[in-house]
A = this chain, B = another copy of it.
């Protein structure tokens, strides 16, 4: 008996609820399934010349109905990944840039192949460290730390809004530095003469509030990939606490996980 026959037999015998559910399966479920497969192709440059195959071809390739294909393309269009051009078909319009998740890297570093990162410094100056900042940077509460707020762009397009806290002994040296064109990571390594060590990170997906969306030039409520990161020097000292909002439609985070540590 083939594996498929065995599954069909099994479905016939015991899994009637599942089988019945499968038969009733909504087109919306099928469209989501197809959209996820196409999304991967889009993000990895799998469509030559940035044009998707014709709906009929997609329907045949994915054994889906034309209506399901249309609904899948609608989902990708709503995400800003594709658009429909009269006389051309469905073209890839959104581009997401891959931020490495395997190594601790600054933005310009990780996106080097993709273009130039520039930073608009919206705010910079010393401010007394609130308790949670002081504790994590291991300074006394109320001690001044350097606060920096930057809007970061790749090839001119807004990518992220970064709020950064740095102990003042290092922060002072940052003031004369070329923050507009250089990652804070690289500057910290230059200033301290030692490499960075590790960072604790937390990633979340949140809806952008109205003001953050406006700064990032994204629609209100746009999905944002939020990264909180506490970076330590190679000697273990915590030196850089950041709260970063990446535009969800412009960044992916990619890495490798292992089963055993």
Contacts and interface: CB of A to CB of B under 8 A. Distances in A.
Interface of A: 3-4, 6-8, 10-11, 15, 18-19, 21-22, 25-26, 28-29, 31-33, 36-37, 40-41, 43, 46, 61-63, 75, 78-79, 96, 98, 101-104, 121-128, 130-133, 144, 146-147, 149, 163, 168-169, 171-172, 175-176, 195-207, 209, 211-212, 221-226, 228-229, 234, 243, 246, 248-249, 251-261
- Of A199, A223, A243, most B-chain CB atoms within 10 Å: A223
A20 B43 CA distance: 41
Nearest to A122: B21
Given A21-B123, A101-B201, A123-B21, A130 B62 contact: yes
Please give the count of copies of this chain that the complex contains. 2
Given A199-B257, A228-B40, A254-B200, A122 B29 contact: yes
Contacts of A28: 211
Given A144-B4, A255-B201, A248 B206 contact: yes
